[in-house]
Structure 1
Amino acid sequence: MYIYIFGNGNTSFSDFRKYYETPLLQVVNNPGVHFLVGEFRGVDTLALEFLKTLTPHVTLYHVGERPRYLPDRFKTHVAEWKVIGNFKTDQERDCAAIDRCTHYLAIDFNSDEKRKSGTLKNIELCNELGKIYLGDSKLR
């Protein structure tokens, strides 16, 4: 199971805990679960911080030569994480993670009738490709 965790850059810590923490805690100790995460602010950095002491089964996808954010490696699992980079854009990075994932966890807070966020576009792509949603189905 490969779970892509993503969401809005302006997601608060309390919203992360409310919408992401419980589904992640339900699967994090399963050795067959691997997490795919970007390195943009918001959900990405909160997820990386959440996972750093819980699992070595993380692949970090990043834009450019080195990640914009990477948690501390000292006495964490971060040193064991796989890091894949040199993507030219966030969209290219997201597409690579979506291609690899079997499941996803994402909540969109920013879209409205005038604007579709990148998070919503990624959710729609995951759904079109038959990726399995890990969160509360009422939030999809």
Structure 2
Amino acid sequence: MLPKVYIFGNGNLSFNDYMFYYKNAIDKLLEMDNAHFVVCDFKGVDTLTMEVLKCATPNVTVLHIGEKPRYAPDKYKTKASQWKFIGGFQSDAERDAMAINMCTHFLAHDINSNENRKSGTLTNIENCLKENKIRFNQE
């Protein structure tokens, strides 16, 4: 089964941390001819992932709140011109639930949760695991 991978994470993740936690895994996924990616349109992991994928694959679905995405990469002479954008979600929770429903696998890393706070990223990781989604190996 070819993976449909929901990639998500914290908005405040640094570029260096993105490269460490996500880039190698995404490169492995891109080696699979028909891997599909599901991303949202928030800052940080979402926007960095779109930039990595825009010239690499047409197999991307971007989910966003409202009528227009907050961010979309340049479509001129890139494969992003073939991406599917699905909007109209009323909340992050509604959008994230759709992404989890759509995926078979997920790639995520949380840097913001601690004993006093659970981030949206950690909540999504827990929801993916509850739905038996497969965590893509990040090594």
Structure 1 length-normalised TM: 0.95
Question: Any unmatched runs of 5+ in structure 1?
Answer: none
CA distance in 1, matches of 2:37, 2:7: 7
CA distance in 2, matches of 1:80, 1:29: 19
Structure 1 runs, 4 residues or longer, greater than 3 Å off: none
- Identify the residue that residue 61 of structure 2 maps to in structure 1: 59
Task: Select 2:135's aligned residue among 126, 133, 136.
Answer: 133
Return 128-137 or 117-126, whichever deviates more.
Answer: 128-137
Q: Percent identity?
A: 51
SS of equivalent to 1:127: helix
* Aligned AA (1:93): R
Q: What's the CA shift for 1:69?
A: 0.1
- Identify the residue that residue 49 of structure 2 maps to in structure 1: 47
Structure 2 length-normalised TM: 0.96
* Aligned AA (2:127): L
* Count of matched residue positions in the alignment of Structure 1 and Structure 2: 137
Question: Any unmatched runs of 5+ in structure 2?
Answer: none
SS of equivalent to 1:106: strand
CA distance in 2, matches of 1:102, 1:63: 22
1:1-140 to 2 correspondence within 5 Å?
1-136=3-138
CA distance in 2, matches of 1:129, 1:20: 22
Q: Are the aligned partners of 1:20 and 1:135 in contact in 2 as well (CA < 8 Å)?
A: no
CA distance in 1, matches of 2:137, 2:93: 22
